Amino acid sequence: MDFKLSKEQELIQKTARDFTEKYIMPVADQIDRENKVPPEIFKKMSELELFGIPFSEEVGGTGAGYSCYPLAVEQIARASGGVALILSVNTLAVSALNLFATPEQKKRYMPPCCRGEKIASFAFTEPGTGSDPKQITTTAVKDGDSYVINGTKRFISCADLQGPIVIFAKDNETNFPTGFIMDKFCPGYSISEPWHKIGMRGGLITDVYLKDVRVPADSILGPKGQGYWVLQAGIAYGKVGVSSGALGGMQAALELSIKYAKEKQHRDKTIAKFQGVQMTIAKIAEKTEAARWLVYRLGYLAENLKDPRAFAKEAALTKSFVTEAAVDVSRLAIAVHGSYGLMEDYAVGRIYRDLIIGEQVEGVADLQRVITASLLLG
């Protein structure tokens, strides 16, 4: 058992931290205000190979592995939950391709996404589905050597960015969900105006409309009729990114709380001298450190996958604990700031808005506990 980061991990962590502090932090409020990430940030992320960290060199990645991936997402999320969301969503979708795609599909879709030239999306949710794949209404009808897909997907991240998208539709041959991989903005693909999220701004979510989208039969991702397992595997890897992003927000809340407490004067001394403030900051530190080692461990397990069911349990457990703890931490950080924490001039409010979204995406906390319990109890 070794808790020390390797030299490669330290380098990736430092690279992501330096990039974040130089390029994202100065425009973090702008991203939040305008709901748009400046193109030069994507360009720099691509140059630094941040999109390809988990994946092998054979598919266009860096070969660093999933154990390094949380280190990068954490640093980026210290400044912007929206930028971290884009990286996390791309990794989720590409992870599903890495697990289930044919060699031809991998060759076509993975390298551009690993280089950051394209951003992948993952589209399961529909207006009436919630988390139940049995309620899926998007259809895929076999027509010769093609499938014709019709339906609406809701709250899809990065659907506005060029790249591939994994679509889940009920095919008319098995009557079960099947995964399909296709290019966004192909004929019949369109999106809504972005939803106005309260946080993680810059990472847009839209509805996706599929009207008579025709894809070749070799667009099926994984076994026909087994889309549920493609979905579950992809989401499990997605929880690594969401949890890492929550950790980054927690670390930012801790840093801001310490800074404010050391600067804010009350009764001729800083509030850092008051025991109540000390106790609050200690609670923030406790929860942040507990979350950190769960997240880092999940990255290790993703890289050294042996039992998919066991990994799904660990991913659900980590996601529920870390994202809930993150919301607690952000509230405590606002309490340290007092009334100033409610002002848009202070970043702690933006962090709070980012973190309450993390608790809801990739499966709400109670659903994660259901997954954890079912896998523990059989």
6-28 per-position pLDDT tens digit: 999 999 999 999 999 999 999 99
Mean residue pLDDT across the chain: 95
Compute the distance between CA of residue 335 and CA of residue 159 in angstroms, rounded to an integer.
36
Query: Active-site residues: which are they?
Result: 362
**What would you report as the CA-atom Rg of the chain, rounded to the nearest whole angstrom?**
21
**CATH class of the domain at 7-114:** mainly alpha
Residue % of the chain over a pLDDT of 90: 87
Compute the distance between CA of residue 310 and CA of residue 305 in angstroms, rounded to an integer.
9
User: Both tokens of residue 149?
Assistant: 């897909």
User: Both tokens of residue 112?
Assistant: 């551009």
Angle, helix 227-263 to helix 347-358, in steps of 10 degrees:
160
Q: What is the pTM of this model?
A: 0.95
Could you tell me which of 168, 167, 169 has the C-alpha nearest to residue 184?
Answer: 167
> Which amino acid makes up residue 84?
A
Name the CATH superfamily, with its identifier, for domain 121-225: Butyryl-CoA Dehydrogenase, subunit A, domain 2 (2.40.110.10)
Which CATH number does the domain 228-377 belong to among 3.20.20.140, 3.10.20.90, 1.20.140.10, 2.40.30.10? 1.20.140.10
Beta-bridge partner residues of 168: 179
DSSP 22: I
Chain segment 290-333, per-residue pLDDT in tens = 999 999 999 999 999 888 888 999 999 999 999 999 999 999 99
Kindly give the pairing relationship between strand 220-221 and strand 205-216. Answer: unpaired
Q: Domain residues of the chain, as ranges? A: 7-114, 121-225, 228-377
